[in-house]
Amino acid sequence: MRYEVEIGGRRRQVVVTKTGDGFAVTVDGIPHQVDVARIGGHQLSLIVDRMWSADTSLRADPSAGHLIVYVGGTPVTVALNGRGRYGRKADGGQASGPQRLAAPMPGKVVRVLARTGDTVRARQPLVVVEAMKMENELRASHDGTVAEVHVREGMSVEAGALLLVIQ
Amino acid sequence: MDPLKKILIANRGEIAVRVIRACRELNIATVAVYSECDRTALHVRLADEAYPIGPSAPRESYLRIDRIVDVLKRSGADAVHPGYGFLAENAAFAAAVRDAGAIFIGPTPAAIETMGSKTAAREAARRAGVPVVPGTDGPLAGSDRQIESAAQALGYPLLVKAVAGGGGKGMRTVTDPADLVDAIRAARSEAGSAFGDASVYIERRLLRPRHIEVQLLGDAHGTVLPFVERECSIQRRHQKVVEETPSPVVSPALRRDVASAAAAVAKTVDYTSAGTIEFLLDEDGRFYFLEMNTRLQVEHPITEMVTGVDLVRWQIRIARSERLDLDPARLVSPSGHAIECRIYAEDPDNGFLPSPGRILDLRVPSGPGIRDDGGATAELDVPIFYDPLISKLVTWAEDRPLAIARMRRALDEYLVTGIKTTIPFFRWLLAQPEFVGGRFHTTYLDDVLKARNGRPFVEPTPRVEEIAAIAAALQMTMSPSGQPAEIGDARRWRAQARAEAVR
């Protein structure tokens, strides 16, 4: 089996072949012998090159089409075969293009600090959402003009709900 | 009289679990209350009895005195432990429990009233001869203009604080006078939702102080005993995130002074049960009374670890009118060092925004010197309605460097999947030379976080990335052939990837 695995913006060619006592796995041409034991539905204990023990858990990221592989306790965002967007880029942190400000968590809009047509600067607070008893300021990622406002003060919003758009 | 056979715990989450555990050890029956979203929460499942008290929003359940008193009567419990937060510092609640013929496990309503009001508490400290941080004498009233002139007289930078506050809620720093009115509005809104009391006051902000606090126990016979100080200067937006005891900078002489000042303040209200006096420690070694918390503190476990005293057990014994017969010298002579990290369901790589949702796996560290006080379990949601604390991870060791090493080991063992947590942030923090050297103050963390400018806390090494690539590829190879892989909601995505692989 051949896979294209993208981690941290870098693609790796991974080839997996079943062998007598485990798997031969090459990553970008570098071969490894891997003994793998499944624990439950989503945990794999690996012993790589007959020495290195690695404890992994694999989970889908519900907000995007990629996988999170926990190596020990460290989460690593993984996209296979180029499918799915890679995490950090999906956060709306680009320096150009429209910013679609979405609610990062469900909560109540307690303040809308910008109106359609307003000019805003990077890091300027735009919407205050109250969740978990704290007020969270959601800010502009870059300079621009508010093109659309989709919320009013007092509205409840779901995670991922579009709050406003900056051009 | 044979009091305290059954205790109602008017709280949720890890602190409800903590109190249930103390009750079990004393052979006391437990009554849990729960909101709609907490039906399956750990505290409900561990308690002997459990009663619903309304919808998930705190104001409609955990802050409803009438509903909790109703459960108190129906269950026949003879005492109430309020935990911390919610109604823990609400004098009306303590009085309502007493009027229902039950014991409130905490101080008297009068002591809560006086000390719970931060402005009245400052007055009590002044009477006890303990210096206070300069600030307004009472809650803010009057027009914006009047408030602005009071603030001007006090001087900037200043802090807007909830009169009924605690835990950093309802608090704002104001550096620019133009931000004052907005800060007061935000603080009032937060205070109203967190404490049911929206009044606020203002206080001058000392530059680079440390936060030192003294745990106390008082009994009904006039004894008040102070404990070794806790150092709680590692704060993010006024919210404690790491606590330790003893403080790395407090000398035995200063310890004696701070402890006796704390006891003097508590005695002005004949304080009973567990409480904490908070101080700011200036760079020149002077300390100022900040406020008193008339309840059990979140960070009480670290004091328990270095003194061997079970504070919740003592709260219950004091409520039974038992005498506080602990050796006072032992309480201010810590054995070893303890550190606590508050593990939150927050995404440190996204401005610490709350990350509610379902915990899929939860593997808690264990082994020598580790204590994890948790209220969350795998397969359960961290609700959006409450403080997103997953657990308090505490390590104890013979000295501070070993306690830090142990905490780093414990953080590496800690596995939470399904939601984001502050664990990667703590791994970073505990490696910082300022933390290791004990060189920090209450704004240290906010300053370094700002300087990091969003650099991610999770930075997998190339080795870890390679392991992740191997694991992902193996999972894909193994799942189509044998047993179905149960990777959450990945079915659709997996089907696509499989189609690609076959091609």
For residue B136, report the phi and psi dihedrals to the nearest 5 degrees. -70, 150
**pLDDT, tens only, A146-165:** 999 999 998 888 777 788 88
Say yes or no to pLDDT of A122 above 80.
Answer: no
Q: What distance in Å separates the CA atoms of residue B413 and residue B397, rounded to the nearest whole number? A: 17
Partner-chain residue, chosen from B169, B189, B415, that has the shortest CB–CB distance to A70: B415
Of B388, B456, B477, the CB nearest to A132: B388
Strand, coil or helix: B202: strand
Q: Do A106 and B356 touch (CB under 8 A)?
A: yes
CB-based contact B418 A106, cutoff 8 Å? no
> Domain locations in chain B?
6-105, 134-204, 206-335, 338-429, 463-502
Inspect the interface and report whether the beta carbons of B415 and A72 lie closer than 8 Å. yes
Task: Tell me what percent of the residues of chain B surpass a pLDDT of 90.
Answer: 79
Nearest to B12 by CA among B2, B37, B469: B37
- Rounded distance, CA B303 to CA B300, Å? 6
Flag whether residue A133 sits within 8 Å of chain B, measured between CB atoms: yes
Residues of A in contact with B486 (CB under 8 A): 40-42
Task: State yes or no: pLDDT of B488 exceeds 80.
Answer: no
Fold of B206-335: D-amino Acid Aminotransferase; Chain A, domain 1 (3.30.470)
Contact map slice: B 209-268 vs A, CB within 8 A = none
Q: Which residues are bridge partners to B416 per DSSP?
A: B362
Query: Do A3 and B473 make contact, defined as CB atoms within 8 angstroms?
Result: yes
CB contact under 8 A, A16 and B472: no
- A23 and chain B in contact, CB less than 8 A: yes
Residue B284 touches partner A, C-beta closer than 8 Å: no
Across the interface, do B490 and A91 touch by the CB < 8 Å criterion?
no
Q: How far apart are CA B395 and CA A121, in angstroms?
A: 44
* Interface contact B465, partner A, CB < 8 A: yes
Residues of B annotated as part of the active site: 295
Tell me the residues of chain A between 61 and 100 that have a Cβ less than 8 Å away from chain B.
62, 65-76, 78, 80-81, 83-84, 88, 91
B412, B426 contact by CB (below 8 A): no
B401 interfacial to chain A (CB closer than 8 Å): no
Cα–Cα distance measured from residue B191 to residue B198, given in angstroms and rounded to the nearest whole number: 5
Model pLDDT, residue B177: 92
End-to-end Cα separation, chain B, in angstroms: 79
Q: Check CB contact under 8 Å for A58 and B477.
A: no
Work out the average pLDDT over A125-134. Answer: 78
**% pLDDT > 70, chain B:** 94
Question: Can you give the pLDDT at residue A40?
Answer: 85
Among A132-141, B340-349, B414-423, B451-460, name the one with the lowest average pLDDT: A132-141
pLDDT at B446: 95
CA distance B233 to B213: 10
- Look at the domain B6-105 and name its fold: Rossmann fold (3.40.50)
Which of A80-84, B15-19, B166-170, B213-217 is least confident?
A80-84
Average pLDDT on B242-246 reads 98
pLDDT at B137: 78
Give all domains of chain A, ordered by start, each with its CATH number: 2-87 (3.30.700.30), 92-166 (2.40.50.100)
Query: Which pairing describes strands B158-162 and B172-174: parallel, antiparallel, or unpaired?
Result: antiparallel
How far CA B289 is from CA of B119, B120, B131, B136, in Å, comes to: 12, 12, 6, 14
B253 sits in which H/E element: helix B252-267
pLDDT tens-digit series, residues B120-166: 899 999 999 999 998 887 788 888 888 888 899 888 999 999 887 76
pLDDT band for B457, please (50, 70, 90 cuts).
very high
B99 interfacial to chain A (CB closer than 8 Å):
no
List of chain A residues whose C-beta atoms are within 8 Å of the C-beta of residue B477:
1, 16, 18, 23
Residue of B344, B465, B486 to mutate when probing chain A, most A C-beta within 10 A: B465
CB spacing of A133 vs B58 below 8 angstroms: yes
Report the alpha-carbon distance of residue B495 to residue B499 in Å, rounded: 6
- Rounded CA Rg of chain A: 22
pLDDT of the residue at A88: 34
Higher pLDDT, residue B150 or B71: B71
Domains B206-335 and B338-429 share a fold: yes
Give yes or no for B495 touching A (CB within 8 A).
no
pLDDT range class, residue A82, cuts 50, 70, 90: very low
Please compute the mean of the pLDDT values over residues B337-351 and round it to a whole number. 95
A47 lies within 8 A of chain B by CB:
no
CB atoms within 10 A of CB A53: 9
Residue located via tokens 């408030």: B147
Q: pLDDT by residue (tens digit) across B182-217?
A: 999 999 998 888 878 889 999 988 889 999 999 999
Helix H segments across A29-149? none
H or E segment to which residue B374 belongs: strand B370-374
Q: Is the pLDDT of residue A132 over 70?
A: no
| pLDDT at residue A8 in the model | 87
Q: Which CATH architecture has domain B338-429?
A: 2-Layer Sandwich (3.30)
For the segment B170-189, the average pLDDT, to the nearest whole number, is 91
Q: Do A76 and B468 touch (CB under 8 A)?
A: yes
Rounded to the nearest angstrom, the minimum Cα separation between A167 and chain B is: 22
Can you tell me the mean pLDDT for B89-104?
96
Q: Distance, in angstroms, between B170 CA and closest chain A CA?
A: 9
Q: Return the minimum-mean-pLDDT range out of A96-100, A127-131, B378-382, B451-455.
A: A96-100
What pLDDT score does B16 carry?
Answer: 98
Burial class (CB in 10 A: 0-12, 13-18, 19+), B95: middle
**Cα angle, residue B317 at apex, residues B313 and B320 outer, rounded to 5°:** 145
Name the residue in chain B with its Cα closest to that of A59. B487
Quote the minimal CA–CA distance from B236 to chain A in Å.
13
Task: Express as a percent the part of chain A with pLDDT over 90.
Answer: 41
Chain A residues in contact with B487 (beta carbon < 8 A): 41-42, 58-60, 67
Burial B272-308 (b: 16+ CB within 10 A, else e): bbbbbbbbbbbeeeebbbbbbbbbbbbbbbbbbbbbe
pLDDT band at A133 (very low <50, low <70, confident <90, very high): low
**Could you tell me which residue, B362 or A102, shows the higher pLDDT?**
B362
Stretch among B246-260, B418-432, B486-500 having the lowest mean pLDDT: B486-500
In the structure, what pLDDT confidence band is assigned to residue A92 with cuts at 50, 70 and 90? very low
What kind of architecture, by CATH, is found in domain B134-204? 2-Layer Sandwich (3.30)
Does B335 score more than 50 pLDDT? yes
Residue B501 has pLDDT above 50, yes or no: no
Give the separation between CA B57 and CA B326, rounded to whole angstroms: 41
B491 pLDDT tier (thresholds 50, 70, 90): very low
Query: Is it the case that residue B370 has pLDDT exceeding 70?
Result: yes
> Tens digit of pLDDT for each residue in B254-295?
999 999 999 999 999 999 999 999 999 998 899 999 999 999
**B155 in contact with chain A, both atoms CB, cutoff 8 A:** no
* Residue A131 touches chain B, beta carbons under 8 Å: yes
- If residue A144 lies in a helix (H) or strand (E), which one and from where to where? strand A144-149
| CB neighbourhood size of B482 (10 A) | 8
Burial grade of B178 (CB within 10 A; 0-12, 13-18, 19 or more):
exposed
Q: Within its chain, how far is the Cα of A93 from the centroid?
A: 12
A89 pLDDT higher than 50: no
Tally helices (H) and strands (E) across chain B.
18, 22
- HEC string for B100-152: CCCEECCCCHHHHHHHHCHHHHHHHHHHCCCCECCECCCCCCCCHHHHHHHHH
pLDDT category at B485 given cuts 50, 70, 90 is very low
Residue B240 · residue B306 · CB < 8 Å? no
Contact between B435 and B234 under an 8 Å Cβ cutoff? The reply is yes
Verify whether the Cβ–Cβ distance B471 to A58 is below 8 Å. Answer: yes
Contact state of B497 with A42 under an 8 Å Cβ cutoff? no
pLDDT in the model for residue B284:
86
B299 compared with A106, residue with greater pLDDT = B299
Q: Which residues of B touch A74 (CB under 8 A)?
A: 424, 458, 460, 464
**Mean pLDDT throughout A13-41?**
94
Residues of B in contact with A103 (CB under 8 A): none
Quick count: other Cβ atoms within 10 Å of Cβ B54?
18
Whole-number average pLDDT of chain B: 92
Residue whose pair of structure tokens reads 């294209």 in the numeric block = A4
Residues 444-463 of chain B whose Cβ lies under 8 A from any Cβ of chain A: 456, 458, 460
pLDDT for A63 equals 56
pLDDT-based confidence at B307, cuts 50/70/90?
very high
Which of chain A's residues have a Cβ under 8 Å away from the Cβ of B464?
71-72, 74, 76
In angstroms, what CA-CA distances link B365 with B341, B392, B404, B407? 13, 11, 15, 10
Tell me what pLDDT residue B2 has.
Answer: 58
Tell how far CA B117 is from the center of its chain. Answer: 19
Q: Rounded to an integer, what is the distance from CA B127 to the centroid of its chain?
A: 29
Burial zone of A26 (CB within 10 Å; 0-12 exposed, 13-18 middle, 19+ buried):
middle
CA angle A157, A158, A163 (to 5 degrees): 55
Query: Which of B193, B356, B497 is facing A105, going by the closest CB pair?
Result: B356
* CB-CB neighbors (< 8 A) of B470 in chain A: 14, 25, 27, 32, 34, 46, 48
